[in-house]
């Protein structure tokens, strides 16, 4: 596990960290095989404009859960590309299938230039994908 991941886990809370595959990542396909059929899985990816099945994004970098709140974190080592936001949206849709009653906070963090986007679900559980919060330091993440 990388130093950056360890730091994030300590900030969010080790007791909430949920992983189910090697490298301490979370696989929706492995954990959700009874919930997501292959067809449903690919339908979600098609919704997010994934044309190349070789980039199927089965594992989320970090997943945390406390009761009815899910926090999804995806880390990137290079500047963001449009597909990174689609990837995060796919994880949110997988999470909605996995835990339909949970509120979701989805975080996309770029380790290259330390840019972070945070998306949160509204009171009805809809992800406010257009409501981006750009965070530039650790204090903001904690508050």
**Helix pair angle (38-47, 82-98), 10° resolution:** 140
pTM of the model: 0.77
pLDDT band at 132 (very low <50, low <70, confident <90, very high): very low
Q: Higher pLDDT residue, 3 or 125?
A: 3
| Nearest by Cα to 128 from 119, 140, 139, 141 | 119
Please name every residue paired with 105 in a beta bridge, in sequence order, or none if there are none: 71, 120
Q: Whole-angstrom Cα distance, residue 122 to residue 47?
A: 21
Q: Higher pLDDT residue, 87 or 76?
A: 76
pLDDT at 70 over 80: yes
């Amino acid at each position: 596990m990388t130093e950056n991941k360890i730091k994030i886990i300590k900030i969010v809370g080790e007791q909430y960290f949920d992983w189910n595959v090697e490298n301490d990542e979370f696989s929706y396909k492995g954990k959700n095989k009874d919930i997501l059929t292959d067809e449903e899985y690919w339908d979600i990816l098609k919704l997010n404009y994934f044309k190349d099945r070789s980039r199927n994004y089965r594992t989320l970098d970090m997943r945390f859960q406390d009761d009815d709140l899910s926090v999804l974190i995806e880390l990137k080592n290079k500047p963001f590309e449009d597909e990174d936001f689609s990837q995060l949206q796919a994880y949110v849709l997988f999470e909605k299938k996995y835990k339909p009653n949970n509120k979701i906070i989805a975080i996309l963090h770029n380790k290259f230039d330390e840019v972070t986007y945070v998306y949160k679900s509204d009171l009805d559980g809809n992800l406010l994908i257009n409501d981006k919060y750009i965070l530039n330091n650790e204090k903001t993440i904690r508050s």
